[in-house]
Amino acid sequence: MKPWEWVVRFVFGGAITVATGVIANVWGPLVAGLFLAFPAILPASLTLVKEHDGREETVDDARGARLGSIALAAFALVVVLTAERLPAAAVLTLAAVTWLVVAIGAWLALHHHQQDREHGRGERE
């Protein structure tokens, strides 16, 4: 890895961390907590992947990050809804299972949608 690539990752990661801090100050930790799930180096990583592996690989990585973010939001929702009613181990287990189900379900839905597009199904004629 080249030195400038480390700098890009550091700058993007730092900017996202600062933005999360500002969000916490303005809207509180509940809202900012959602942004903590955002991988701080994702923008830098995507930039570097595009540089090294091309646009198609970058799109795949970004798509995976979106699916993971949806699953993390489901995880957070389960924690918010159950944290005061269930023991911590039960909350984390339920949230982790929810994350897994949502992540796999989102991936399967995307995969199915892509297959439909490749085979010309699902388009209006």
pTM over 0.85: no
Q: Is residue 63 part of a domain?
A: no
Supply the pLDDT for residue 38.
65
Q: Which domain holds residue 40?
A: 1-53
Q: Is residue 115 part of a domain?
A: yes
Supply the pLDDT for residue 110.
82
Domain tally for the chain? Answer: 2
Produce one character per residue of 82-120: b if its CB has 16 or more CB atoms within 10 Å, e if not.
beeeeeeeebbebbeebbeebbeebeeeeeeeeeeeeee
Supply the pLDDT for residue 125.
45
Supply the pLDDT for residue 59.
83
**Which residue has 């930790």 as its token pair?**
29
Q: What is the CA radius of gyration of the chain?
A: 18
Supply the pLDDT for residue 124.
52
Based on the fold, state whether residues 42 and 85 are members of the same structural domain. no
Based on the fold, state whether residues 75 and 123 are members of the same structural domain. yes
Q: Is residue 104 part of a domain?
A: yes
Q: What is the pLDDT along the chain (125 residues), one digit of tens a residue?
A: 678 777 877 787 788 888 888 998 999 887 887 776 666 667 777 777 777 777 777 787 788 888 888 898 899 899 999 999 999 999 999 999 999 999 999 989 888 877 767 767 655 54
Q: Is residue 59 part of a domain?
A: no
